[in-house]
Amino acid sequence: MAFLAGKMVLAVEAGAPNNGAGDGTTGRVKKTRIRGRDYPYVSAQAFRRWLRDTMAAAGSVPSPTERVGKAQGKAQKATTAADPIQYVDDDLFGYMKATAKSDDAATTVRDTPFMVGTFLAVEPVRPTEDFGVMSRNISDPVLHAHEFYTADLAAPFLLDVPRVGTFTLQAADGSGRPNYLDEKTALAVASAVQAGATTQTFRDHSAVRLPLAPRRERVAVLFEGLAELAGGAKKALHYGDRVPALLVMVPMAGGVNPLGFVIDGAADGTGLQVRGDVLRGELAAWQGEWEPPVLVGWRPGFRDVLRKQFETDLAEEITAGTVVIGHPRTVLLALAARVRSGQHDAWFDDPAR
């Protein structure tokens, strides 16, 4: 297996974890309109920022960032160091390094091995507008307002495991899909960071690849970051836990995610659904393309009625060990430990066809 497909749910209670543009003195949460009703969401960019910051708090050195280009309101550019060999976040999350024209340097890109969707509410929600006044020791009070909401937000994710620590190179004629590194520079940097980087063919392209041990470590660090996830806006007024309330993961041979309809919103707009029968049908349809067990992380106390039904529907698979259910944190930390110890080394190369 080469891909880890998943879907996760964040439970927001009276929160405003990701905000859009303000409206006068009112702070607005991000939301989209679907069939005439509002659905709050957390953008993939915000979620990835939370994950980067969580990894950095745990000791991972983040890639330094800088702003380049023109002033605010005009053409703007910002970039990381764009060094995926040295910096784990540049490797896992990708980048686009768009330099100023005066630098006479090419724009370079790395596609992300860790893909995540928008965390969209599973049912329509009308955000509450909270009115506030700042009147402490001032004669002319300052009026302000902001929105918050309660909702379960769900998003898919996909990790392309062989791509971690693997950087394809552009062909001499300019063809191919570079991710991008100059081979001489890449190998020079790699030798300073981790001895043993090699060139090889990866998905029909020449590539520089780090040794297996640091690639294992990077995947493990990602899972550990998800297990300790923290972040979000308005923490002074709307602090909330951001560790996933629910997640399902399954190793896949290809980049297909079969979990989209396993966790979603009910068609009548009544909230979260987690359907064991749908999971069984998807696994049957993709027989031979996935590897057991399916890992389910479900926090105690979260949607207990749904969990009981899910466990009843999949009682046979749970008994057989095809589906394993635990706390999201323990499931993710155990997976990180297995990756780090080499138990999932087969995931780091594409399966033979």
- Per-residue pLDDT reduced to its tens digit, 61-70: 999 988 776 6
Of the CA atoms within 13 Å of residue 162, those in its CB half-sphere come to: 19
Q: For the beta carbon of residue 305, count every other beta carbon within 10 angstroms.
A: 7
Tell me which residue of 244, 281, 243 sits closest to 259, measured CA to CA.
281
pLDDT at 105 over 90: no
pLDDT at 3 over 90: yes
pLDDT at 75 over 80: no
At 98, the pLDDT band (50, 70, 90 cuts) reads low
Q: Which residues contact 4 (CB under 8 A, 6 or more apart)?
A: 158, 159, 161, 249, 250, 251, 252, 347
Instruction: Tell me the per-residue pLDDT of 210-229, one tens digit each, with 9 for 90 and over.
Output: 999 999 999 999 999 999 99
Which one-letter DSSP state was computed for residue 293? Answer: P
pLDDT at 150 over 90: yes
Instruction: Tell me the per-residue pLDDT of 40-50, one tens digit each, with 9 for 90 and over.
Output: 999 999 999 99
Tokens matching residue 199: 């060139």
Note whether 26 and 146 are within 8 A (CB). Answer: yes
Tell me which residue of 11, 270, 7, 19 sits closest to 124, measured CA to CA.
270
At residue 215, the pLDDT reads 95
Note whether 249 and 294 are within 8 A (CB). Answer: yes
pLDDT at 74 over 80: no
pLDDT at 109 over 60: yes
Q: Which residues contact 44 (CB under 8 A, 6 or more apart)?
A: 116, 117, 118, 119, 155
Instruction: Tell me the per-residue pLDDT of 257-302, one tens digit each, with 9 for 90 and over.
Output: 999 999 999 988 889 999 999 999 999 999 999 999 999 999 999 9
- E strand intervals along the chain: 3-15, 26-27, 31-34, 37-42, 65-69, 76-80, 95-97, 108-110, 114-116, 119-121, 128-134, 142-160, 166-168, 198-202, 205-209, 246-252, 263-265, 272-274, 294-298, 323-326
DSSP letters for 229-247: ----S-HHHH----S-SEE
Tokens matching residue 305: 């009625």
Note whether 121 and 155 are within 8 A (CB). Answer: no
Instruction: Tell me the per-residue pLDDT of 183-199, one tens digit each, with 9 for 90 and over.
Output: 666 666 566 456 577 78
At 172, the pLDDT band (50, 70, 90 cuts) reads low
Distance of CA 280 to the CA centre of its chain: 25
Q: What is the mean pLDDT of the chain?
A: 89
To the question of pTM greater than 0.75 for the whole model, the response is yes
Average pLDDT on 11-20 reads 95
At residue 85, the pLDDT reads 85
Average pLDDT on 139-146 reads 84
Give percent of the chain above pLDDT 70: 87
**Cα–Cα distance for residue pair 240/35, rounded to 1 Å:** 29
Q: Pairing relation of β-strands 142-160 and 3-15?
A: antiparallel
**Cα–Cα distance for residue pair 65/81, rounded to 1 Å:** 6
Q: How far is CA 322 from CA 123, 281, 290, 314, 317, in A?
A: 30, 14, 11, 9, 5
The interaxial angle of helices 212-227 and 328-341, nearest 10 deg, is 170
Q: Among positive and negative, which fits the CA dihedral 59, 345, 113, 297? A: negative
**Cα–Cα distance for residue pair 107/97, rounded to 1 Å:** 5
